[in-house]
Amino acid sequence: MKRTERSESIRNIAIIAHVDHGKTTLVDAMFQQSGLFRANQEVDDRLMDNMDLERERGITIAAKNCSVVWKDVKINIIDTPGHADFGGEVERAMSMADGALLLVDASEGPLPQTRFVLKKTLEAGLKVIVVINKIDRKDARADEVLDEIYDLFIDLDASEDQLEFPLLYAIGRDGVAQRDPDERGENLHVLMDTIVDEVPPPSYDPDAPFQMLVADLSYSDYLGRLAIGRIFNGQARSNESLVCINSRGEHLPLKVSKLQAYQGTGFREVNLAEPGDIVVLSGIENVKIGDTICTKDAPVALPRINVDDPTVSMRFSINTSPLAGKEGKFVQSAKIRERLHKETLQNVAIRVEETDDRETFLVKGRGEFQMAILIETMRREGFELCVGRPEVIYKREDGKTLEPMEQLFVDCNEEFMGVVTEKLSIRKGKMTNLVNNGKGRVRIEFSVPSRALIGYRDEFLTDTKGTGIMNSLFAGYDEYRGEFPSRFTGSLVSDRAGVGVAYALFNLEPRGHLFITPTDPVYEGMIVGEHNKDTDLNVNPCKEKKLTNMRASGKDDSVILSPVKPMTLEAAIHFIRDDELVEVTPKSIRLRKAVLSASQRHTMRGKKKKMA
């Protein structure tokens, strides 16, 4: 009979929540109060969000680990993303944890991504501690939110044991937690005590040999590839010879050059690692997320990390515009291929496939936001590339075409309910629920195809004058709901190369909304604006004013152009049609036609009409 023991000095806990419900801020406070920093030490806010993009956008993109020590117990904390597009990160985190801290905003309550991350947690069978955060908000409604949390647990088929969760109230920003909403806590000690008391210590078989599941990969300029994961059984020592079991069941020999464990937000070298601890192994080259590292004598693979299938694909290709190579360091397809392959090693939710064209790659992921983050990261690293419009991935079953669906939650003022419902019905959305809170705001639920949301978010903010909140949750596959227009406007396309001229742009303004300013470089096939009709229009943005001998009053008045809002990467990806691309460089984001030559596009249109 198999014996089971527990590592009493370790707790592994994941922090899960919807975007902006205060996970990272709470972790900062736990660091401060566990004695990780000196009382007078200056520390950055949001320590765990160490990527530039995370700090700029105020969201967590990659799951990260850290540890604090409380009453001689080491608490390994895994800070997970709240956005469903980074679901692969959530699944990785769950493979390392024994419990989860569910953070819910005292005003907003459980939102779609709360449902998403909690579903993954309950499926993994983890012990959940519920923390209702931000109880100091003026619009806090802690009692109603608690009822909503119970409803959510029941809705997700939680077991009786999971329903009896420990409950705390917190003000993460002030570093305060308490058991009752009416009392006033002084610190987070009650939260730390609850984690130690309620989260089960990691269990292991004392007779089993060493087994570790690789849940994350990193890279060090000094140590090479780093494998991060939890030890399920046995002990690890530095300079030990082990094997890695990959997805094909092959046994690859490896030698651990350095063994490290988490201490605060960094690492410390250790000679021996115990079962249940989360460690970093160095000196391992051919390892991937989901592999098992074990001994040569008794190689037994652990269950691999399962990640939901991708729902969105995008084409990445080399930059073929006349301005290619002027702003970026990496322009060759081999460099782009190498970078995308590196991304698949670190991000389990991204897949890359070759296409018929050697210079184009099909990248599949969980959402266009995840793709935009990858593209933004690449351009900051010095890459130049072109990307196409995001496309949903269809499935064929029983002769029917199925498409990914989203459960969409809209929170907006009553006055905007009509326009939101109308726009979503055009995009094949179906209203499934409507709740009027009686405070001038309504919460509407829709069932919509995933492709309906590509490009809709910006339109939604405009329609609701910036006051609407929209959240979606992947709801599986359903029958294809038919075509709908993705855009009701055409493009203003430059018919020649040159630079933008104020006189020409002023005369083009009545035709639509411009994307360029005077002196911006343009080329044939580049999109310089949005046409206010649904057709494309070839224009000359380089046309200069003809000089005459005659001078009259007002003849040489200076031209005043409407201000041009700089095109963001997300806006560009949402704007383009199927025959258009976004040219991305470290300095610029330009829109262009896939076929640059105006005469070639004209010929192709003629052929399409004949075939129709």
Q: What is the CATH number of the domain that holds 411?
A: 3.30.70.240
Q: Is 256 within the bounds of a domain?
A: yes
Q: What is the pLDDT of residue 19?
A: 63
Domain boundary among 242, 264, 295: 295
17, 121: one domain: yes
Confidence tier at 82 by pLDDT (50, 70, 90): very low
Q: What is the pLDDT of residue 591?
A: 92
Is 312:391 a contact under the CB 8 Å cutoff? yes
pLDDT exceeds cutoff 80 at 597: yes
120, 35: one domain: yes
Q: Which of 15, 49, 42 is nearest to 191 (CA)?
A: 15
Q: What is the pLDDT of residue 21?
A: 56
Who has greater pLDDT, 508 or 468?
Answer: 508
Domain boundary among 203, 230, 259: 203
Q: Is 350 within the bounds of a domain?
A: yes
Mean pLDDT calculated for residue range 42-50: 40
Is 540:495 a contact under the CB 8 Å cutoff? yes
**Hey, what amino acid is at 346?**
Q
Q: What is the pLDDT of residue 85?
A: 42
Q: Is 505 within the bounds of a domain?
A: yes
Domain that holds residue 435: 395-479
Q: Any idea which residue has 């160490």 for tokens?
A: 50
Q: Is 541 within the bounds of a domain?
A: yes
375, 412: one domain: no
Task: Provide the token pair at 242.
Answer: 């082990």
Mean pLDDT is lowest, of 422-431, 520-529, 567-576, for 567-576
Q: Is 185 within the bounds of a domain?
A: yes
Domain boundary among 479, 504, 521: 479
Does 529 carry a binding-site annotation? no
377, 505: one domain: yes
426, 533: one domain: no
Mean pLDDT calculated for residue range 175-181: 81
Confidence tier at 1 by pLDDT (50, 70, 90): very low
Confidence tier at 526 by pLDDT (50, 70, 90): very high
Does 24 carry a binding-site annotation? yes
470, 491: one domain: no
Does 21 carry a binding-site annotation? yes
pLDDT exceeds cutoff 50 at 54: no
Mean pLDDT calculated for residue range 504-523: 89
pLDDT digits (tens, 9 = 90+) for 263-309: 766 667 777 778 888 888 876 677 777 888 888 877 888 887 766 67
Cα distance between residue 445 and residue 438, in whole Å:
17
Average confidence score pLDDT of the chain: 80
Who has greater pLDDT, 319 or 160?
Answer: 319
Q: What is the CATH number of the domain that holds 194?
A: 3.40.50.300
Model pTM?
A: 0.71
Does 23 carry a binding-site annotation? yes
Task: Provide the token pair at 78.
Answer: 């895994």
Q: What is the pLDDT of residue 47?
A: 40
Q: Please report, for residues 119, 158, 365, 408, the alpha-carbon distance to residue 17 in angstroms, rounded to integers and kept in the order given.
A: 11, 17, 21, 18
Confidence tier at 551 by pLDDT (50, 70, 90): low
Cα distance between residue 488 and residue 465, in whole Å:
20
Mean pLDDT calculated for residue range 360-370: 84
Q: Calculate the dihedral angle through the C-alpha atoms of 362, 574, 578, 396, rounding to the nearest 10 degrees.
A: 60
pLDDT exceeds cutoff 60 at 63: no
Mean pLDDT calculated for residue range 339-360: 83
Task: Provide the token pair at 423.
Answer: 């726009």
384, 491: one domain: yes
Q: What is the pLDDT of residue 2?
A: 52
Q: What is the pLDDT of residue 39?
A: 41
Mean pLDDT calculated for residue range 320-327: 88
Confidence tier at 242 by pLDDT (50, 70, 90): confident
43, 60: one domain: yes
Cα distance between residue 448 and residue 372, in whole Å:
22
130, 177: one domain: yes
Q: Is 523 within the bounds of a domain?
A: yes
User: Can you point out the beta strands (E) in 310-429?
Assistant: 312-317, 351-354, 360-365, 385-387, 391-392, 395-397, 400-413
Mean pLDDT is lowest, of 149-153, 221-225, 515-519, 554-558, for 554-558
174, 272: one domain: no
Q: Is 74 within the bounds of a domain?
A: yes
| DSSP secondary structure, 452-500, as one string | GGTTHHHHHHHHTTT--EEEEEEEEEEE------S-S-EEEEE-S-EE-
Q: What is the pLDDT of residue 386?
A: 92
Q: What is the pLDDT of residue 527?
A: 92
- Phi, psi (degrees; rounded to nearest 5) at 498: 155, -150
Angle, CA of 496, 497 and 498, to the nearest 5°:
125
Does 80 carry a binding-site annotation? no
362, 489: one domain: yes
pLDDT exceeds cutoff 80 at 419: yes
Mean pLDDT is lowest, of 32-36, 86-90, 518-522, 588-592, for 86-90
Does 18 carry a binding-site annotation? no
| 3-state percent breakdown (helix, strand, coil) of the chain, nearest 5 | 25, 35, 40
Who has greater pLDDT, 548 or 225?
Answer: 225
Q: What is the pLDDT of residue 86?
A: 42
pLDDT exceeds cutoff 50 at 133: yes
Q: Is 302 within the bounds of a domain?
A: no
Q: What is the pLDDT of residue 466?
A: 79
452, 431: one domain: yes
Q: How many domains is the chain built from?
A: 4
N residues, the chain: 612
Mean pLDDT is lowest, of 63-67, 69-73, 107-111, 437-441, for 63-67
Does 134 carry a binding-site annotation? yes
